[in-house]
Amino acid sequence: MNHQKWLNTIFYNSSTTPQAIDLYFALRMRGVPAELEKWDGYKTIDIAVTDAKVNIEVDGKHHNYSHKQALSDLKRTFFSFQKGYLTLRIPNSLVEWSIEETADYITEFLVESKNRKKKL
């Protein structure tokens, strides 16, 4: 029942895009401890993987067409970087047309990132 309420909230009462939701579930199916719509104290992250210190933003076309949006995205990425987080920007089209391969690469990226941190 709690999961159903959570899903209804995500689908009907938030600004989460269908692409972000699809990618979130694809990552969860691969065992990634992802969080959807994570508030970091400054902004809401589409998908956060806090143990790897990676934020994933699933971006629509408007992120490329407006210089104001692009600058806002760059600032958000910078503020996350200052906190030690890397931001991956994934275009909606990649999720729509190649979700499995996209989720596989993101998962490998996260594993590689964790392995590098262990070596340091």
The answer to whether the CB of 83 falls within 8 A of the CB of 40 is yes
Q: Which of 4-8, 24-28, 58-62, 94-98 is the least confident region?
A: 4-8
Residue 1's pLDDT band, with cuts at 50, 70 and 90, is low
Please tell me the pTM assigned to this model: 0.83
CA–CA separation, 81 and 74 (whole Å): 10
Q: What residues does each domain of the chain span?
A: 16-119
In this structure, which amino acid lies at residue 41?
G
For 91-110, write each residue's pLDDT tens digit: 999 999 999 999 999 999 99
Residue 57 tokens read as 């933003």
What is the rounded average pLDDT for all residues in the chain? 84
Architecture of the domain made up of 16-119: 3-Layer(aba) Sandwich (3.40)
Identify the DSSP state of 14.
Answer: S
